[in-house]
Amino acid sequence: MAVAAAAVLVLVLLSFSGPLCPRLLSASPSPSPPEPVALTLLACATEKGAVCLDGTPPGYHLQRGSGSGSRSWLIHLEGGAWCSTVERCSDRRMTVLGSSDFMKPIQFDGSGILDSDQNLNPDFYNWNKVYVRYCDGASFSGDAEGRAQDGSILHFRGLRIYEAVIDELMEKGLASATQAFLVGCSAGGLATLLHCDDFSARFPQEASVKCLADAGFFLDARDISGERSFRSAFDGVVQLQNVRKVLPKNCLANKDPTECFFPAELTKSIHTPVFILNSAYDSSQIRYILAPNSSDPNKLWLSCKDNIKNCNSIQTQVLHGFRNAMVNDMKVAQVKEDWGMFIDSCFTHCQAHYGISWNSPISPRLGNKTIAEAVGDWYTGRRQIVKYNDCEYPCNPTCSSLLPTPP
């Protein structure tokens, strides 16, 4: 998509999830195409300083629920990497990931967990569904200002955007929800972990409130050259955009703020039930954490990063080590009884909001369950324990080469 292509130009050697999800990835076409959902801008949010990088108002797409889902809400936080320097954030202002001016021509038409087709999304199809656009560059968590080289102000107001959107949605019916589900992909998945407990605290105890982090479990790992290049990039985000307000206080008391920004630490402090959906061979993490271009000057990993099937035996062993590190970091989630997990071994990134991954004839399966079935079992309580952890690549025959691997 043109929007996704523009966004790629400003990624900071980090993961990417396209801002919109094409419905052509659904398992089968809907009986009739659903009506696209227009963008809603929070014009009043500018008074609170809740603005995109360029100062334009943030936005979201709201599709109203019906019937049994009229008091159930699913809030999806969009992903799209981060910007860790003034220069990169300044460039990002000229894209859909930094300005709502570039969002205005776009209408939203959800798929996967956002689909309105009961056959494709049986547990959430008729819920109120909200797709929150991402335009701050720090996982909806920053609260600061900067100045671009041209003298203009850069607004690092992700936290205010999150709060303003949720506040407005509460007025539109979210406050009376009997079920509420905070979901996010990639940088939005990290945002889900950062805000999960705050989101839950807004509802009465009798409401069922849970969170799902899709492809948001980023590792604080060394790359193939032995450097922690991804930590350096995250440190830039943390310092530049001032994300301390959303970090766990008990973590900050003992660790560096950047370390507290990583999911391995965040999950230790979250009390709300969370479902962790991730590939242990996440295509974006392999490209930008394990083998970034800076660590591979001779481009020996170029073909492997493009397609895991091209990896040689030595590279495959390195990938297995990365997978083992991820599984080890997820032990906290593994022991929490009310948490769920679906950790497959497919070479992909973000799976819940793509129909082909979520629930289709070629969806990844663990325990003979699609992702949609596993998440639905967990959220509704149809199964008491929903924790699936795949074996090493290439053991899973349901991992299709057609699964999305965003750039």
Between β-strands 72-77 and 179-185, what pairing exists: parallel, antiparallel or unpaired? Answer: parallel
For the chain, which ranges sit under pLDDT 70? Answer: 1-34
Closest of 64, 310, 242, 248 to residue 169, by C-alpha? 64
Return d(Cα 389, Cα 327) in angstroms, integer.
Answer: 8
Return d(Cα 307, Cα 224) in angstroms, integer.
Answer: 17
- Provide the sign of the torsion angle of the four alpha carbons 284, 286, 287, 289, taken in this order: positive
Q: Is 115 a catalytic residue?
A: no
- Using only C-alpha atoms, the chain has a radius of gyration, in whole angstroms, of 20
Return d(Cα 78, Cα 336) in angstroms, integer.
Answer: 26
Return d(Cα 190, Cα 205) in angstroms, integer.
Answer: 24
Bridge partners for 276 per DSSP? 213, 341
Q: Is 349 a catalytic residue?
A: yes
Architecture of domain 2-389: 3-Layer(aba) Sandwich (3.40)
Return d(Cα 249, Cα 260) in angstroms, integer.
Answer: 9
Task: Give 401's contacts (C-beta < 8 A, 6+ positions apart).
Answer: 307, 309
Return d(Cα 228, Cα 27) in angstroms, integer.
Answer: 39
pTM for this one?
Answer: 0.92
Per the rule left: phi > 0, alpha: psi between -120 and 50, beta: everything else, 322 is alpha
Question: How far, CA to CA in Å, does 208 sit from each of 64, 88, 178, 256, 340?
Answer: 19, 39, 6, 33, 15
Active-site annotation holder among 143, 214, 220, 282: 282
Question: How do residues 101-134 score in pLDDT, each as one tens digit?
Answer: 999 777 777 899 999 999 999 999 999 999 999 9
Assess whether the previous peptide bond of 29 is cis (omega < 30° from 0): no
Active-site annotation holder among 186, 283, 284, 357: 186
- Residue 157 in tokens: 């107001």
Q: Is 100 a catalytic residue?
A: no
Active-site annotation holder among 200, 349, 360, 377: 349
Q: For the beta carbon of residue 201, count every other beta carbon within 10 angstroms.
A: 10
Q: Which parts of 218-348 are beta strand (E)? A: 274-279, 340-344
Q: Where are the domains of the chain?
A: 2-389
pLDDT at 11: 39
